[in-house]
Copies of this chain bind each other. A is one copy, B any other.
Amino acid sequence: MTTIADVAKHAGLSRATVSRVINNYQYVTEEKKKLVRDAMNELGYYPNSSAQRLRNQKTNMIAILVPRLTNPFFTNIIEGIEKVAAENGLQLLICQTKSDKQKELNYFKLLKTKQVDGIILTAIENDWEKFSPFLDCGPIVLCNEYDEEATVPMIRLNQFEGSYIGTRHLIERGHRKIGYCGGGSMSGLSTDRKNGLKKALEDIGLTLNPDWIFLKRYSIEDGQKVMKEIAAMDDRPTAIFTGSDEVAAGVIKESKNSGIKVPEDLAVIGFDNQPIAEMIEPGLTTIEQPSEEIGEKAMETMVAVLNEQKFDTSLNGLSLELVVRDST
């Protein structure tokens, strides 16, 4: 491997000068700059990044923790994150937690071992206190997720409002027996959604039937199971509010096997507005989240924190919108 010393020797200069050229330090004469550049080209030199990281105490690498890559919502977030990362010369280490507490926690060791400069969390599995040993190892940013205890920047949307407008929509269509199907129980996001639904019900004097609450449902298969459970009930909801389009799609798919008609027998509303919402029949009514923008904001915040700038923690301007199709 050719090192900076080889380049220096070949150019008849010192390692220091070569380094200065690489990092465009101002006080190097054009003449020497050219000597160095020629030497680098002739030798095909590239700086060794491990050495740079060690010396600079910086990796320019950010870990991004997602539950599953197969969920387009998260890959869209990544899309946004990646865009801003590239603009700022940062690399991304994409980590799949599979919603596993231990895996999630293990990835935090990346901070301790200095493999990454910071972490963006798109979901939370563990109690927040578990993260406390890592808080001083580098910035942590929450993206599309939040925790009451957390003292870090959070980029999030008003999920409460999202499910509120979704539920209002169902109520307007005449539904009174509305079920809820969401994600993890630790998630502030999930409870917010549940509360938005509750509020919309309470507004018209109803309460959420605990039999119709399904938690920790993430995938198409989970959705299918939910549909089976509902089909088996004596007293069924007439509408179900789900935490993701995938789960909703599973519900709709299974409804065809269970002889339950959507939306006549069961209205279904999703969350995210993924491609599948448009592809499935009947088309899925859903709450659109500007996923790419959330990712961008999260990474912008990360960059700001890394540069010790101020950042904006207010509930950001991005809004959730109801997209009405045929499932309600």
Residues of A within 8 A of B (CB): 1, 44, 46-51, 53-54, 59, 69-70, 72, 75-76, 78-79, 82, 91-94, 96, 109, 112-115, 133, 220, 249, 253, 275-276, 278-281
Contact = CB atoms under 8 A, between A and B. Distances in A.
B59 A69 contact: no
Given A113-B49, A114-B49, A114-B50, A70 B75 contact: yes
Contacts of A54: 48, 50-51, 54
Given A69-B69, A280-B280, A133 B59 contact: no
A96 B82 contact: yes
Q: Oligomeric state, in number of copies?
A: 2
A46 B106 CA distance: 13
Contacts of A114: 1, 48-50
A293 to B, nearest CB: 16
Contacts of A281: 280-281
Contacts of A133: 44
Contacts of A50: 50, 53-54, 59, 114
Given A70-B72, A75-B75, A78-B69, A48 B113 contact: yes
A275 B279 CA distance: 12
A207 B135 CA distance: 65
Contacts of A96: 82
Contact of A279 (B46, B51, B92, B249): B249
Given A253-B279, A279-B279, A280-B281, 13 more contacts: A1-B114, A47-B113, A48-B114, A50-B53, A50-B59, A51-B54, A53-B53, A54-B54, A69-B69, A82-B96, A94-B94, A220-B275, A275-B276
A76 B70 contact: yes
Interface centre among A53, A78, A115, A133 (most CB of B within 10 A): A115
A46 B249 contact: no
A209 to B, nearest CB: 29
A260 to B, nearest CB: 16
A278 B279 CA distance: 11
A59 to B, nearest CB: 7
Nearest to A133: B44
A47 B278 CA distance: 49
A109 B48 CA distance: 11
A41 B120 CA distance: 27
A74 B163 CA distance: 32
A253 B93 CA distance: 35
Contact of A115 (B49, B76, B253, B276): B49
A278 B278 CA distance: 14
21 contacts: A44-B112, A46-B109, A48-B113, A49-B113, A49-B114, A50-B53, A50-B54, A50-B114, A53-B53, A69-B69, A70-B75, A70-B76, A70-B79, A82-B96, A220-B275, A249-B279, A275-B276, A276-B279, A279-B279, A280-B280, A281-B281
A15 to B, nearest CB: 16
Contacts of A51: 54
A112 B44 CA distance: 9
A113 B280 contact: no
